[in-house]
Structure formats: C-alpha cells, structure tokens
Structure 1
Amino acid sequence: MPVLVSNLQEEVAVPDNLVNLVEKVILETLQYEGYSPGAEVGLIFVDDNYIQSLNAEYRGIDKPTDVLSFALNEGEDMPQVEEAEDLLGDIVISLPTARRQAAAYGHSFEREVAYLTAHGCLHLLGYDHQNEADRQVMRQKEEAILHRLNISR
C-alpha cells in the first residue's frame, strides 16, 4: 500500500521517524477496517496558512484547522477501469497546529500527529462526526488503532 507523504511547510521539522509513524498509522487503520492493503493514500504536512486557505475554500471556514481529508470515493461514481488503482484520497495535517495541540493536551507531538492521521484516514473511509453517536464511533476507532500501535497519551 503506497502512502505518499509530502511536506509543504518549513515551520516544523519532519524527521524520518515521523514519516514512518504516519505510514504505520495509515496501514493499521486500513487493516483495522478490513480495507484493501493495496489502497493509496496521500498525506501532506502543511502550515496554518495553507490549511486555512483549504478550510476556507472547501468548507467555508476561514480559520486554520488541524486536519482535513479529501476522499476520492465521495460523490458520483467514476467509470470502472480494468485494474483501476484503489486511490482513497489525501489527508492534510497542519504541523504547527498539531504541535500546539500536543502541548495543550499534554502528550507528545508524535502522538498528536498519529491521532490526526488515524482521524483523517477514517474520514477517507467514510466515517464522520456530525452527531454525537458518530463522534463516539470515530473516537473509539481512533483510540483502538493507536492502542494497537502502542501509542499512548
């Protein structure tokens, strides 16, 4: 399963272990959900200005956020192509926001990025948190995925 990680910001360092961590989280999320191990996910690290512009354009909310997901399997069905790639979509994470949230929540930056990655990946798989019941389902899945990877608070 290809996980394509891009870093479009310079404010927060992105060491190899962080890239390896998000790849593991995506793989674990797909496995946990019984999804195809051949699926492709893009993960893009950005700064607050970049994610704010995306949030304003796609959600009409003109402020930074921590994570956005852009699922390719939403909307109208695409014409079927023989041996089509299983492209799930992109997860965009603001690393400066993740760093601030980690400090506010009292856990590591790596744990926060792992959580945001699992959260974003679940969105790609169709989960949402528009109501309390759905929010609880997502939260349970996020914590179970992190627990399986021994990522604790």
Structure 2
Amino acid sequence: MSLQLAWINEQEGFDITDELAAKLEELLRLAGESEQVTDGEVALTFVDDEAIREINKQYRGLDKPTDVLSFAMQEMGEDEIEIRYDEDSMDDEGGLRDAAALEGEELETFEEPLGDIIISVPRAIAQAEDYGHSVERELGFLFVHGFLHLIGYDHQSEEEEKEMFGKQEAILQKAGLTR
C-alpha cells in the first residue's frame, strides 16, 4: 500500500511536463509524510476557468471560477452509507479479496481514494504572476492546499488558516518550491 497520484490534463493552455508531474508526486509524498498519511490515491485534474466555474456552480452554488477545488472521499455525508467488510473478504494487507485471489491469483494493489483535486491552470498562471513566483510553485501550492483539504484541514478561522498555510509552506520548502 502507498500514496498514489493519478492525474489528467483537461486544459490546453499549459503543458503538464513529466518534470512537473514528478514534482507533484514528490509533494504528495512529502505532504503524506508530514501528515502521517501513507495510503490512498489522489486524483488530480487540470482544467480551464470555464470547467472549474461549472464545477464550482454545481457543487458549491458559486457561479465563478476558482483556483482549486477538493472533494474528499473519506468524509461521510448525512445520507451516505458506510461500507463495511467482514474479515473473510479482506486479504492479509487489509485489501479486498475477490474470486481470483481465492484461486491463488495475485491482484493489483487497490488504493483507497482520498479524493479529487481540481486545479484551474489559467487561474494558477495568473496568481503566479500576481505573487511573483513560478507557475510550478503555484500549481504545487494549490495541489498541497487541495491535499490538506482532502485529509480534513480547513481555513474557516484565522487560526485554522495560519496552521494550514504554515503546513503548505513547509512542504513546498522541502520540495524546493520557494517564492
């Protein structure tokens, strides 16, 4: 079991290079280590302003683009049913068994989804210009910000914001993404 990043690029204005993807994987590893999160999958989607505006409108009722949205899979909503498995359906490492595993075939490791992070690349580019740092740093900042939301952090109060932003900055510094 490990922390995994799955990403997709649904925008055309900025090239998501192999180097950037590797940096995001490093950030995920560093953030996971910092927060003792060792297992799970984070799904990251790069979009344009129009796509994130639509998602923001649909899920948050805000008809405007934003820089990053996070949708945690580990949160239980009021109407959601918790799925529980009995011990016979689990393998030695806590994963689900299926008929193939029972016949002695090995399965690919399945990582429990932590959630989805959606980043508006045009918004990240504009913010990088405003703050005077690289687009890679801004994308990294938004990614770490989204990850911390996935695992339960928020910034509704000044104290929460200070804690969350401090954690983000420490992770970015370890990855060499300075201002």
State the 1:125 CA deviation. Answer: 0.5
Which among 115, 126, 129 is matched to residue 103 of structure 1? 129
Match of 1:80 in 2: 84
Q: Superposition pairs for residues 1-150 of structure 1, below 5 Å? A: 1-36=3-38, 38-76=39-77, 78-81=82-85, 82=90, 83=95, 85-150=111-176
Deviations along 1:106-144, one digit per CA (max 9) or x if unpaired, are 000000001001000000000011111111110000001
Moved more, 78-87 or 47-56: 78-87
State the 1:80 CA deviation. Answer: 2.3
Q: In the aligned structure 1, how far is the partner of 2:14 from the partner of 2:177?
A: 21
Q: In the aligned structure 1, how far is the partner of 2:175 from the partner of 2:21?
A: 15
Q: In the aligned structure 1, how far is the partner of 2:15 from the partner of 2:83?
A: 40
Q: Quick one: which amino acid aligns to residue 137 of structure 1?
A: E
Identity %: 44
Compute the TM-score of the two structures, normalised by the length of structure 1: 0.94
- Residue aligned with 1:104, SS: helix
- Residue aligned with 1:70, SS: strand
Q: In the aligned structure 2, how far is the partner of 1:9 from the partner of 1:78?
A: 35
Q: Quick one: which amino acid aligns to residue 117 of structure 2?
A: I
Q: In the aligned structure 1, how far is the partner of 2:14 from the partner of 2:72?
A: 26
Query: Rg larger in 1 or in 2?
Result: 2
Q: In the aligned structure 2, how far is the partner of 1:149 from the partner of 1:143?
A: 10
State the 1:3 CA deviation. Answer: 0.7
Q: Quick one: which amino acid aligns to residue 129 of structure 2?
A: A
- Residue aligned with 1:42, SS: strand
Runs (4+) of structure 1 moved beyond 2 Å?
Answer: none
- Residue aligned with 1:80, SS: coil
- Residue aligned with 1:2, SS: strand
Gaps of 5+ in 1: none
* Count of aligned positions: 152
Compute the TM-score of the two structures, normalised by the length of structure 2: 0.81
